């Protein structure tokens, strides 16, 4: 059985070409095991968001070998890649990317609607999840009526609602106070860390490092070392 959610071997990513080429990922080796929460940390500009985007199939690598849940995602035809992502991946981005015209519950329900769930059932499930996230009273509010932290929790609900196998989060606690940040990380552990799942979190927030099973350190386009985090297991 495959025990790795993500395997990166010498992954390269450059932007631009010729003299303008910017080599952002310079040969990344990283494995993200199933059943664990892996954090990716490192200085601003070192390539964390780029690596997360490549892993999530939002950017194509320039070179190297990459498997996500046993699939070479970047080698799939784009319609198959979209389907694979829809079914297997959940995202929380640095920007929340909520749709302004939709309510909190409708925003959280989007992955289910994309999977052809009936609207009423999808919104009901979204409301239950938002309630668990402490937003039960705000399910009918639109994003511009919510605080940053509340919007972040809606983005969480949207990432988790379709039970994805791999959840990738970019700075998921940046808009949250310490208490809500801890609450959300605990919930993420509870919902997401199961033997057949994995969570990959990019963060600067050392207040939440103790939630990680392992911490991969990145610097200047490379994963330099990976640390096991003893405390949580
Ligand atoms: N589309 C792009 N075209 C050119 N350069 C890019 C592009 N996207 C990112 N970069 C560059 O790649 C480098 C890494 O960016 P990235 O967003 O991955 O960093 P990061 O580690 O997530 O930083 P932060 O912690 O500030 O979010 C930066 O120097 C950035 O300017
Ligand atoms: Mg970033």
Q: How many residues in total does the chain contain?
A: 233
For residue 33, report the phi and psi dihedrals to the nearest 5 degrees.
Answer: -75, 150
Residue to substitute in 12, 14, 24, 26 for testing ligand 1 pocket (most ligand atoms within 8 angstroms of CB)? 24
Averaged over 146-175, what is the pLDDT?
Answer: 91
**83 lies in some domain:** yes
Residue 190 forms part of a structural domain: yes
In this structure, which residue's CA is closest to atom 31 in ligand 1? Answer: 45
**Over the range 171-197, which residues count as b (16 or more CB within 10 Å of their CB) and which as e?**
bbbebbeeebbbbbbebbeebbbeeeb
Residue nearest ligand 1's atom 6 by CA: 15
Task: Decide: 44 in ligand 1 pocket, CB within 6 A.
Answer: yes
Residue 224 counted as domain residue: yes
- The mean per-residue pLDDT over the stretch 66-93 comes to 90
101 located within any domain: no
Does residue 169 have its Cβ closer than 6 Å to ligand 1?
A: no
Q: Does any domain span residue 124?
A: no
Q: Is the CB of 28 under 6 A from ligand 1?
A: no
| CA–CA separation, 49 and 194 (whole Å) | 24
Closest CA to 88 of 6, 203, 201: 6
Domain of residue 73, residue span: 4-95+164-232
Say which CATH number the domain at 72 has.
Answer: 3.40.50.300
Q: What is the mean pLDDT of residues 139-156?
A: 92
108, part of any domain: no
Is the pTM of the predicted complex or chain greater than 0.85? yes
Nearest C-alpha to atom 4 of ligand 1 is from which residue? 15
Q: How far is the CA of 54 from the centre of ligand 2 (A)?
A: 13
Whether 126 is in a domain gets the answer no
The closest of 67, 76, 165, 145 to 105, measured between CA atoms, is 145
Question: Which atom of ligand 1 is closest in space to residue 53's alpha carbon?
Answer: 18
Cα 109 to Cα 154: distance, rounded to the nearest angstrom: 10
- Domains in the chain, number: 1
pLDDT tens readout for residues 164-223: 999 999 988 887 888 888 888 887 887 777 888 999 999 988 888 889 999 999 999 999
Of 150, 143, 175, 158, the C-alpha closest to 90 is 158
Extract the tokens encoding 81: 């890649």
Say how far apart CA 112 and CA 34 lie, in whole Å: 23
The predicted structure's pLDDT at residue 232: 45
Q: What's the chain's average pLDDT?
A: 91
Assess if residue 155 is contained within a domain.
no
């Amino acid at each position: 059985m495959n025990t790795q959610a993500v395997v990166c071997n010498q992954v390269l990513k450059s932007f631009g070409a010729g003299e303008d080429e910017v080599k952002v990922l310079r040969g990344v080796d990283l494995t993200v095991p199933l059943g664990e929460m892996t954090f990716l940390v490192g200085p601003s500009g070192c390539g964390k968001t780029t690596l997360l985007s490549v892993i999530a199939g939002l950017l194509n690598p320039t070179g190297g070998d990459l498997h996500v849940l046993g699939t070479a995602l970047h080698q799939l035809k784009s319609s198959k890649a979209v389907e694979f992502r829809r079914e297997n991946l959940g995202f929380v981005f640095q920007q929340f990317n909520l749709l302004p015209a939709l309510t909190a519950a409708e925003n959280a329900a989007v992955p289910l609607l994309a999977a052809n769930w009936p609207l009423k059932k999808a919104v009901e499930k979204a409301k239950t999840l938002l309630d668990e996230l402490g937003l039960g009273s705000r399910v009918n509010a639109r994003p511009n009526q919510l605080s940053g932290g509340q919007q972040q929790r809606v983005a969480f609900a949207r990432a988790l609602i379709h039970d994805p196998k791999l959840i990738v989060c970019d700075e998921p606690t940046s808009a949250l106070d310490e208490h809500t940040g801890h609450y959300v990380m605990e919930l993420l552990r509870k919902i997401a860390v199961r033997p057949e799942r994995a969570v990959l979190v990019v963060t600067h927030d050392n207040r939440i490092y103790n939630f990680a099973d392992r911490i991969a350190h990145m610097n200047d386009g490379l994963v330099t070392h990976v640390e096991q985090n003893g405390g949580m297991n």
